[in-house]
Amino acid sequence: MKFIAAVFVAAMATGSNAWLFSSCQGGGIDNWKKNDCHNVDADSVQFQSDNGCTIFIYGEEGCQGTAVTTKTQNTCFSSTSGHVSSVKCVEGL
């Protein structure tokens, strides 16, 4: 977990209009543009945002259905269905 946090911090220095996403089951870290919906396939996910944002975690693709929302960074979360199919990070909420 410390390695992921270190990579998050290092990657944040490279993009101020982005947020970092990672599956809690391992794999890579993605640097995505804020306010866009991204389809994923994971049991649980975590994120980090340079300017702060609220992450919306969906059990359906296309950011549809009921979302779990949080501003808590670097902590693993899942959707209400127990599987994450899409995510969106929104600033200003």
Domains and CATH numbers, the chain: 2-90 (2.60.20)
Confidence band for 93, pLDDT divided at 50, 70 and 90: confident
pLDDT at 28: 86
Closest CA to 46 of 10, 92, 5: 5
How do 29-33 and 84-90 pair as beta strands? unpaired
Residue 22: φ, ψ to 5°: -150, 140
Per-residue model confidence as pLDDT tens digits over 3-59: 344 444 444 444 456 899 999 998 789 999 889 999 999 999 999 998 889 999 999
Task: List the Cα angle 61/65/69 in 5-degree steps.
Answer: 95
